[in-house]
Structure 1
Amino acid sequence: MGIGVTAGAVAVGGVATNASASERGASDSSGAADSLVFDPDDYTEVTESIADAAGDKHTVVYRFYKPRDYVTNPSDSTHQSLVVSVPVKIDGKAVDASRAPVVFANSVGAYMPSSVAKATGVGQNELEMTGMAAPGGGGSASGAPGGAPAGGTSAGGPSGGTGAVNGMVNLAKLAVVAGYVAVEPGARGRSLTDSSGAYYGTAPAAIVDLKAAVRYVRFNRGRIPGDTDRIVSTGTSAGGALSALLGASGDSPLYDRYLEEAGAAPASDAVFATATWCPITDLEHADGAYEWIWGTNATQSTGKTVDQTVSKALRTQFAEYQAGLRLRGLDGYGPLTARNYDDYLLRTYFQPSATKYLAALSETDRTAYLKKNTFITWSGGRATFAWDDFLTHVGARKKTAPAFDAFDLSAGENNEFGEDTTEARHFTAYSLANDTTGVTGKRLASDIPGLLRLMNPMHHIEERNRNRSRHWWIRLGTSDSDTSPTVSANLAAALDNLGDDVNHEYYWDQGHATNVDPGDFITWVARVCGYRKR
């Protein structure tokens, strides 16, 4: 059953938002610094050949609004700025994007910084991975450096997609060629340090920046072209986690002091719809979720299984956490537990995913695929297989154990929780207790619980945040061992249980950061936003 809007909140474009915030956002510029007023006449007209979701090229004329700060007190303008792209002609035909959806496309990967400071056109948001060491025992926050797709699975399935950038279809370009408005925000990330060596882009900097950017867009309603009440957030990997967090935490007061310090615009930071690909999220429970599925698979780096004592301990943690969530599966499945999650994934996602993939092949190609992958039974136009055979099919896992809070503090997520001049910190009691770096103390740092709350969409969903998105697009590859499939499945189930509109699928044989149905996504945006081209 859906959640109603209580007194004291108003519905803005289908999103319940804090009344005072939305009222201020709808007012004129007198209540905010002049630097946050968007000038609709300050643009460069760009003509570019852009491929649509099907790969067909189109001549697109669009207005490109150069990088501008989205806060009045930026700690780093190189990253705390955004660009806007508005189509005006596609293949010579005029486009009226004045009421088009706004696709808010973040390019964060690995919780690293991203920047549009050098952008001269749409789709030039840069993910910064320079200078980062190769991942250690725990792997990195996004998997492959630079967000590249993991691909190359044992199944030999394809990876990536049309117009892939950083291993992901460029959603900003797809938005513009579809006639939508694209907003690309930069954001601070975990590798940034100041002159004293202090880290200033670690949690919760990235989500604060994305919220501030949304506030900027909504504050400039009527000045920024497009329907600013129909913002659709997108992101992949760590960016997918941030997109999910942005959608789940709309107008949460937990972020107010950070937004005030940055000088964010006085407006709502709720987004209408949320799209997330392979989100690296629910970090405090991610180690257990990872071991639950990949615990007995050999690792890519060693060809051996991980320490089974560690793996079993983490699997036990997952079972306890999953029971505590009290989630019910989609399509009337019933309670989800560690004991039946394999059956749930097979029935609800993996077998339908394989069926969809095989049905789309020619008879010749399907026969060849089934000959190579004999564990699949193809009967009556439906694929079935056993769980253990599926795990064997995927093959070696990407990360060691623990996958996210590494005992030696080598995981990207450890750096995400760094503080001051401390590069990396533990964020789970289990890894702290088993630390191999000499960290002392029996308790996590006092600020860690609060930071986890700020960085996890599940917390906001559990609290039934009224200002969350109500429309969700969630995708993950079945061969993606950068994370656990239960992470996105739990996200989908939690939202579904609240009555939200959830569109969740897994791509068969796909690795990390892949997108094989971009056209369906573009169509979905129009449908949930109720948009028809003029």
Structure 2
Amino acid sequence: MKHRAVKRRTVVVGLGSVAGAAAIGGFAADAQAESRNSSRNAEKPANSGALAFDPSAYTELTTTVTTDEGDKEVTYHFWKALTYVTAPVDAEHQSLVVSVPVRIDGKAVDATNAPILFSNAVGGYFPASVATAAGVGEAAMEMGDPGGAGGPGPGGTPPADTGTGTGAPTTGTGEVPSGSNGMLNGMGEMVSLPKLGLAAGYVVVEPGCRGRTLTDANGTYYGTAPAAIVDLKAAVRYVRSNQGRIPGDTRRIVSTGTSAGGALSALLGASGDSALYAPYLKEIGAADASDAVFASGDWCPITDLEHADGAYEWNWGANTPQSGTLDQSVSKELRAQFAEYQASLRLKGLNGFGPLTARNYDDYLLETYVRPAAATYLKGLAEADRSAYLSANPFITWKNGRATFTWADYLTHVGARKKTAPAFDTFDLSGGENNEFGTGTTEARHFTAYGQRHDTTGLTASRVDGDIPALLDLMNPMYHLARHNPGRAKHWWIRVGTKDTDTALTVVGNLAATLHGLGDDVDSLMYWDQGHGSNTDAADFITWVARVTGRRK
């Protein structure tokens, strides 16, 4: 699916943790505080202060978007970068752009009450900016350090082999750049959800936010955790505080993101109106409004970081890394950690599967996600192509429209894994996630007890820094879902490729199972033979948005 922009006509028409027993014990207090915060942040009248949106300050543009229904010419109003807080740390990143369709294929469109697609362009927990965006879908993830001091940060330079099988560009940690320009369909072509949303008649908001590599003149890191989620929440508050000024239904905000952006989208959905973020939002001058979103679209979310190393080894421990070697003793110890963590969640699988444990999770993934993904893929092939694929992959038994195979054969089919062990809290502090938890002039820190104990950089402390547990809670949607956060989104779209070895498939599995257990509307599946950043059913997502928001197309 291509999104081809034609020459624009421009007319200016206006001026302008789950963290342990102690944390769980605080469930009641947290829930009450979040409930009070949610009530206090009910939709307010239109903002008339410093953060007031100017409805007249737009530029009119025209672009062509290729959709599953063919090319569509869309004329839309575009508001250039708008700072969404009154006390920005970095206005270049703490700003957003707005796109509102007014004509599609020459037919007038009224987007007054349309859903608002809130699409972040974060990848690798790097900064994202809309400062130079001149149209829809042009939010940019930044791998480097615009502050000039940090360079690309931990993770090094992009590898020659992306591991996606698509030739997509990657970030310094091997992740496909996410958001507006990072998703790939089954043909390896870029998918722009902002453009597809615009072509469907939705309002599109693309926020920038701080990221882990940003430093000031003194070498202080000011975009590490929890900066990104605080900024995205502030951007949501800006939109909701401008009810009646900004086009679209501010009660029907649908968040989207991929990779680390998918993690942040999930976190937006899970943590709506949580009081935990109030001090951070106040510090940057966020609007006094709700930061809850209506629905959350999450592609290959890199989340639940404090448990990600164990999950990765449980999932991919039998696979050889693309580069380097695998310490089997480390892999075994981390797998044991995952078994303990999974048992503590007390989750039940979808479709009546029953309790999810480390012992049966392979069967659960096969039955619920992986085999159905293979079947969907095979059914979509022409007879000759299907026969050729099955001949090349004899481990698959195909009968009566069903694909069967073992977990071991599936892992062999996936091949080399993207990362070594530990995959996230690396012993030498070289991981992007280590940088995400940096502080002050310290570029990277350990965020797990296991990583800290096995540090190879010369650290003498045996425990992680005292602020790490609270930061992990701020960055993990599972923390908020464990507390049944009343301000969470109630509609979820969750996707990942079956060949995505950037994180464990259990991350998606646990997120979906948790939400389903809470009674939320969850649409989750996996894409067969697809790697990191894949999105092969974007048109279905656009239709799903219309359904859950009640939008009549």
TM-score normalised by the chain length of structure 1: 0.91
Match of 1:265 among 277, 287, 294: 287
Aligned pairs (5 A) from 1:216-231: 216-231=238-253
Shift of 1:8: 10
Match of 1:29 among 47, 50, 70: 47
Aligned equivalents of 2:176, 2:379: Cα separation in 1: 24
Aligned equivalents of 2:530, 2:60: Cα separation in 1: 38
User: Are residues 237 and 57 of structure 1, via their aligned partners in 2, closer, same or farther at CA, if it must alter by over 3 Å?
Assistant: same
Shift of 1:19: 2.1
Kindly provide the amino acid, as one letter, of the partner of residue 317 in structure 2: G
Deviation readout 1:419-478 (Å, 9 max, x if unpaired): 000000000000100000001111110000000000000000000001100000000000
Structure-2 residue corresponding to 1:144: 170
Structure-2 residue corresponding to 1:154: none
Shift of 1:20: 2.0
Deviation readout 1:99-143 (Å, 9 max, x if unpaired): 110000000000000000001110110110133167369x99x99
Residue 173 of structure 1 pairs with residue 190 of structure 2:
no
Structure-2 residue corresponding to 1:326: 346
Structure-1 residue corresponding to 2:70: 56
Structure-2 residue corresponding to 1:420: 440
**Equivalent pairs: percent with the same residue?**
63
Matched pairs, number? 505
Match of 2:467 among 427, 447, 450: 447
**1:475 counterpart SS class:** strand
**2:41 counterpart SS class:** helix
Q: Please say if residues 49 and 57 of structure 1, whose CA atoms lie closer than 8 Å, have aligned partners that are also in contact.
A: yes
Match of 1:75 among 82, 89, 98: 89
Aligned equivalents of 1:344, 1:7: Cα separation in 2: 35
**2:522 counterpart SS class:** strand
Aligned equivalents of 2:412, 2:263: Cα separation in 1: 28
Shift of 1:171: 1.1
Aligned equivalents of 1:90, 1:147: Cα separation in 2: 39
Q: Please say if residues 155 and 172 of structure 2, whose CA atoms lie closer than 8 Å, have aligned partners that are also in contact.
A: no
Shift of 1:28: 4.2
Residue 124 of structure 1 pairs with residue 124 of structure 2:
no
**1:119 counterpart SS class:** coil
Structure-2 residue corresponding to 1:156: none
Q: How big is the alpha-carbon RMSD for the aligned residues of Structure 1 and Structure 2? A: 2.3
**1:36 counterpart SS class:** coil
Q: Please say if residues 107 and 239 of structure 1, whose CA atoms lie closer than 8 Å, have aligned partners that are also in contact.
A: yes
Match of 2:408 among 388, 398, 404: 388
Name the stretch that deviates more: 54-63 or 78-87.
54-63
Structure-2 residue corresponding to 1:435: 455
Residue 240 of structure 1 pairs with residue 262 of structure 2:
yes
User: Are residues 146 and 184 of structure 1, via their aligned partners in 2, closer, same or farther at CA, if it must alter by over 3 Å?
Assistant: farther
Aligned equivalents of 1:288, 1:451: Cα separation in 2: 19
Residue 104 of structure 1 pairs with residue 91 of structure 2:
no
Structure-2 residue corresponding to 1:288: 310
Aligned equivalents of 1:94, 1:173: Cα separation in 2: 17
Shift of 1:56: 2.6
Shift of 1:55: 7.2
**1:18 counterpart SS class:** helix
Structure-2 residue corresponding to 1:192: 214
Deviation readout 1:459-509 (Å, 9 max, x if unpaired): 000000011000000000000000000001100000000000000000000
Structure-1 residue corresponding to 2:320: 298
Q: Please say if residues 496 and 525 of structure 2, whose CA atoms lie closer than 8 Å, have aligned partners that are also in contact.
A: yes
Q: Please say if residues 123 and 175 of structure 2, whose CA atoms lie closer than 8 Å, have aligned partners that are also in contact.
A: no
Shift of 1:93: 0.6
Deviation readout 1:294-339 (Å, 9 max, x if unpaired): 112111114x5x1000000000000000000000000110000000
Structure-1 residue corresponding to 2:427: 407
Kindly provide the amino acid, as one letter, of the partner of residue 44 in structure 1: T
Kindly provide the amino acid, as one letter, of the partner of residue 411 in structure 1: G
Aligned equivalents of 1:447, 1:170: Cα separation in 2: 37
Aligned equivalents of 1:8, 1:464: Cα separation in 2: 12
**1:223 counterpart SS class:** coil
Q: Please say if residues 212 and 225 of structure 2, whose CA atoms lie closer than 8 Å, have aligned partners that are also in contact.
A: yes
Structure-2 residue corresponding to 1:210: 232
Structure-2 residue corresponding to 1:44: 59
Deviation readout 1:503-527 (Å, 9 max, x if unpaired): 0000000000010000000000000
Aligned equivalents of 2:116, 2:410: Cα separation in 1: 39
Instruction: Tell me which of the two structures has the higher relative contact order, counting C-alpha pairs closer than 8 angstroms and 6 or more residues apart.
Output: 1
Aligned equivalents of 1:65, 1:328: Cα separation in 2: 45
Shift of 1:149: 6.9
Structure-2 residue corresponding to 1:155: none
Residue 491 of structure 1 pairs with residue 515 of structure 2:
no
Aligned equivalents of 1:163, 1:420: Cα separation in 2: 43
Q: Please say if residues 149 and 160 of structure 1, whose CA atoms lie closer than 8 Å, have aligned partners that are also in contact.
A: no
Q: Please say if residues 44 and 243 of structure 2, whose CA atoms lie closer than 8 Å, have aligned partners that are also in contact.
A: yes
Kindly provide the amino acid, as one letter, of the partner of residue 319 in structure 1: A
**1:415 counterpart SS class:** helix
Kindly provide the amino acid, as one letter, of the partner of residue 43 in structure 1: Y
Q: Please say if residues 168 and 514 of structure 1, whose CA atoms lie closer than 8 Å, have aligned partners that are also in contact.
A: no
Aligned equivalents of 2:95, 2:102: Cα separation in 1: 23
Aligned equivalents of 2:552, 2:259: Cα separation in 1: 30
Shift of 1:92: 0.4
Residue 471 of structure 1 pairs with residue 497 of structure 2:
no
Stretches of structure 1 lacking an aligned partner (at least 5 in a row): 1-5, 11-15, 152-158
**2:493 counterpart SS class:** strand
Deviation readout 1:25-55 (Å, 9 max, x if unpaired): 422435xxx3200011110000111222x27
Aligned equivalents of 2:470, 2:37: Cα separation in 1: 23
Aligned equivalents of 1:464, 1:520: Cα separation in 2: 28
